[in-house]
A and B are shown apart, each in its own frame.
Chain A
Amino acid sequence: MAYLPYFLPLAVIVPIVALLLMIFCSFLGGRVVRSLALAGFILPAILSICLAFYYPNFVEFSGDYAYLGMLSVGLDAWGIQLSFGLNGVSLPLFLLAAWVGLAAGLYAMQSHAEDKESYWMLLLLMLSGLLGTFASTNLFFFFFFHEVALVPTFVMMGRWGGAGRRVAAMEMAIYLTLGAMLTLLGLIAFYIQASPFMPTFDMRGLSQLFTVLPLSEFSQEMIFGILLVGMGILVSLFPFHSWAPRAYATAPAPVAMMHAGVLKKFGLYGLIQVALPMLPLGAELWAPYLVILALGNVLYIGWVTVAQQDLKMMLGYSSVMHMGYAFLGIATLSTLGVGASVIFMVGHGLTVALLFLLGTSLYKRTGTYNMLEMGGLCKPLPVLSAFFVAASLASLGLPGFLNFWGELSIFVALWDYSPLYTALAVLGVIISAIYGLRAVARIFFGELPSHLKTPMLDLNWAERLPALLLVSALLCLGFYPAPLVKQVNDALLYTRVDPVMWVNPDAEPGNSLVVETILDVSDAQ
């Protein structure tokens, strides 16, 4: 038990160690390299499960960080240390990163890409970045690890991506750097504001400092605005979304799984973990605008999604659309809404990864992403179609899948905020039902077109395994989300994302109970 805190940095470093070993052991032959890559994907998942399992034992008081540890990199004078820790908000996302990383890695292991070794190495680097992002408690490394993924993503899109990748990859790189630079500006602003008292980038230190000495209203509003636009670009908030669908459509499946499933959550996570607790007044100013933009994601992008005929473009747009719900949850500024947003992120990450995986497997068999050229595939591909239907329904928010709890709680929280907006947001569910079910109908039902009548092999086990991992996670957490939700709730109550509690710390956080109530229902199910 005492060694458990070391698991956290270990999980972040293992993929990089595996990568280095792959380079230096390449003379030992393909099998060794292959098993090293496999170990690099599997070990973080195992470590993260251990961390999650023993998490309650390591939390000193409700809502605090566990597994804290720190390493100096020589920048202590600037308040920069490599410090890791998990709280109730980062734990689910850390788990998500490890789990989707495992699925993406397994999927990449069976692919027939050329130059597979470099492919795995870049994926491992990306995985390390993902895990580090959510494990870091220092704003510098929080940003650092997120950006680690940029060059690997770019290179992988270029070497193993689909048509149109030259433009899509460049657009993505520039757009993401723009978002990242704005985010960096906002993060540096925290440091500058804190430096007269305590020059530090440490999230916990800053959070405590700004609780005692809140920032001026003006700086709060400015910083929140900068962070909102910067992170909004990274999360593809309407109208900064245009990079996302094309990038996902051209990226190879494991990259799309990791990027859309996990990396994109960086912005939302940053808003929840950094911006809301430290900038309550800024949040209050910007929340009404955020709601409008988020509804833009849900409704406008929703309609755009309906118009897509290319399966991968549709998946890309639908992932952009669903980000709107996550933003709506955050914009309510209530413990319930923000917590729901975290749960939704986990559900969405698993679902969208599954969909990209299945979409690519489908392409391998049919040779096309155009849904009009497909049909009747449930007969030759029963397992694939079962998975796809499950994933589509999860994406709609069918009860039993984790997405349901996320969406439902977001709507409940939003109702308190504005019934009109809730009605509009619920409309989005109908839209996603239209495109989701229509895609299922077009691809798997109806007449099998003549050019697809050649015999097709169903999903093999190498493809089924990652899909099973994702579906089982969705179902397990869908039926029993209580442990996850309890940690999220505790952390959010402690960091006080709700401005009401900010003004009056002793106020009973009434709506937080709703989460528990809903979850009691889920327990009973």
Chain B
Amino acid sequence: MTAMTYFQLCAQDNIWAMIAPEMVLACMGLLLLGLEFFLPKQAVLPMLRLLTFGVLGFLLAFITYKYCFIPSVGRSFGFSGLILQTGYTDVFRLFFLLNGILTAHLATRYFEANPDLNPRAFYPLLLWVVAAFMLLVQTQHFAAFFVMLEAVTVGFYLLIAYNSKREPSLEAALKYLVLGALTSPILLMGIALLYGIAGNPNMPAYVMDGMSFSALHVFISANPTHPFVLLGAAFVLIAVAFKIGAFPLQIWIPDVYQGAPLPITALLAVASKAAGIILLMHLLHGPFAALQGTFLPILLAVAIATILFGNITALPQENTKRLIGLSGISHAGYLLLGVLASFSIDWAAQAILFYLFVYLIASYAVLGVMGYVSKSSDYNQTIHDYTQLAERDGFLSFVLVVGLASLAGIPPLAGFVAKFLLLLATYQAELYWGLGAALLGVVISIYYYFTWMRSAVFRPWSTEKQIPSEGRVSFAGSKNKWVLGVLTALSLVLGFIPAVILLL
């Protein structure tokens, strides 16, 4: 084979149509950046929003159509084995597109409350991060894996620091940068260890391409106990656990969530966590499948510690963004249990996906309410800012109660069904300690979720009404609240009729 034919073969393998949605997002991001060169100044911002929502909405509709009506071709590799698309790829894409569109929605409100911020760079960055997320969960090769993970992380460095006039935002970005910069080399080290040992001709079943997931799968199945393999896999998993916020790598979460702009808090809480869980599933069922037995006890201990840490530290928390972060840690713990259960229970993957969607719906509803209740800087918003929300805005308090109850996992809301299925899988997989921790966690979580709810709906006992002075709270009227209404309705409908899980 000449060099020329080699390059031709590679080029033929690059079927760009496979990643058309990601390409559209990336190109649209570029276009948005250049918008101000050929549009009058006052038309830039509306156009920016229109195009962002337009492209996300179009892709959402397109992929939904494709997923529902065009039969999937099964597994197809692309780009010389860098990416792998399965029937689930479109589900993941839909998930991240939903994240993008809801984050953009939160951002609209955020920029209204912070008129001194220039939103022009925000939307392109958001589109790129969403595209990177969508590619990240398709990667089948550690080179692409690393690049996409870094693309997401670098995007977050910028987005977290977006409110650069305020110290908390910068502080959060710096913390995320330092810790992110710490985990990237660990990931690289892990990849290098695996690559090195897998390509060693002295090893049995050594492979040429020690970064491809399928090659590594073959190699690791043949050498499941080699120390370099274990060390390399552990390093890779550590980097993924950092994204998920699993104990003991959860330490950045409260500070970063608190300082980040609210829409980015949402993106971190939902999309980043979900991507981590999906990657963990890919790795543990792909290249590291032979190591399941080795990692199961460690991951179980991590899951239990994550659930308990998240719930217990959230108990005294009054800052709402920190509360979202800490309770999010416990949700990551429940999801980790689902990942462990998936080693022996087939449908656990379905349950995890359902949980992710339900978590998305409930989280964005609660964060949406936080956006409406927030002062211009929301990093020190506490649950006391919600006092008598029911009197001030009944609709928002209703959305908040439904969202929190769904996060707490109380019937008739979707959160209950999701949690129930995860617990069922955990029980069936005989992870009794994990099950016990999860049940305990649910009981503990009632306290902080209901404290928040109590703050919003209870009337103070004293006869004189103490509504906080209006200056502290700004409501945006009923504009765009229908999004919250839709999310709330979804939480309710999916609770009564969770049939959508069959689509997953």
Query: Residues on A close to B: CB < 8 A?
Result: 72-75, 77-78, 118, 140, 143-145, 147-148, 150-151, 154-155, 158-159, 163, 165-166, 169-170, 173-174, 177-178, 181-182, 184-185, 188-189, 191-192, 195
Contact = CB atoms under 8 A, between A and B. Distances in A.
Given A147-B416, A185-B439, A73 B496 contact: yes
B502 interface: yes
B454 A191 contact: no
Given A158-B454, A170-B451, A191-B424, A74 B498 contact: yes
Interface in B212-250: none
10 contacts: A140-B420, A145-B411, A147-B411, A151-B405, A159-B457, A159-B458, A177-B446, A184-B423, A185-B435, A195-B428
Contact of B424 (A72, A73, A78): A78
A165 B410 contact: no
Given A73-B498, A74-B501, A181-B443, A144 B411 contact: yes
Q: Which of B416, B417, B421, B458 has the most CB of A within 10 A?
A: B458
Given A159-B459, A181-B442, A185-B439, A192 B427 contact: yes
Interface of B: 347, 390, 394, 401, 405, 410-412, 416-417, 420-421, 423-424, 427-428, 435, 439, 442-443, 446-447, 450-451, 453-454, 457-459, 461, 496-502
A74 B457 contact: no
A177 B498 contact: no
Nearest to B439: A181
Given A166-B458, A170-B447, 13 more contacts: A74-B500, A75-B501, A118-B394, A144-B412, A145-B411, A147-B411, A151-B410, A170-B450, A178-B443, A181-B439, A181-B442, A181-B443, A188-B427
Contacts of A185: 427, 435, 439
A478 to B, nearest CB: 35
B443 A174 contact: yes
Contact of A174 (B405, B416, B447, B498): B447
A178 B441 CA distance: 10
Nearest to A189: B427
A143 B411 CA distance: 9
A181 B461 CA distance: 31
A73 B442 contact: no
A158 B424 contact: no
By secondary structure, the A interface counts as: helix
Q: Which of A72, A151, A189, A192 has the most CB of B within 10 A?
A: A151
B68 to A, nearest CB: 16
Given A73-B499, A118-B394, A181-B442, A158 B423 contact: no
Contacts of A195: 428
B460 to A, nearest CB: 9
Given A73-B497, A181-B442, A185-B439, A192 B458 contact: no
A177 B496 CA distance: 20
B421 A151 contact: no
Nearest to B444: A174
Contacts of A144: 411-412, 416
B197 to A, nearest CB: 40
A355 to B, nearest CB: 25
A192 B428 contact: yes
B354 to A, nearest CB: 10
A417 to B, nearest CB: 34
Contacts, number: 94
A163 B462 CA distance: 10
A75 B447 contact: no
A132 B364 CA distance: 30
A17 B57 CA distance: 32
Nearest to B394: A118
A41 B411 CA distance: 22
B32 to A, nearest CB: 39
Nearest to A157: B458
B457 A158 contact: yes
B416 A170 contact: no
Contacts of B411: 143-145, 147-148, 150
Contacts of A72: 499
Contact of B401 (A75, A151, A177, A178): A151
A172 to B, nearest CB: 10
Contacts of B420: 140, 184
Contacts of A177: 410, 442-443, 446
A151 B452 CA distance: 13
A165 B499 contact: no
A75 B454 CA distance: 33
Nearest to A170: B450
B430 to A, nearest CB: 9
Contacts of A173: 446, 450
B421 A78 contact: yes
B392 to A, nearest CB: 13
A507 B451 CA distance: 55
Contacts of B454: 154, 158, 166, 169-170
B442 A148 contact: no
A29 to B, nearest CB: 18
Contacts of B443: 174, 177-178, 181
Contacts of B394: 118
A145 B401 CA distance: 18
Nearest to A76: B502
B410 A174 contact: no
Nearest to A185: B439
A77 B501 CA distance: 11
A219 to B, nearest CB: 13
A189 B446 CA distance: 23
A77 B459 contact: no
A155 B390 CA distance: 11
A19 to B, nearest CB: 11
Nearest to B499: A74
A189 B427 CA distance: 8
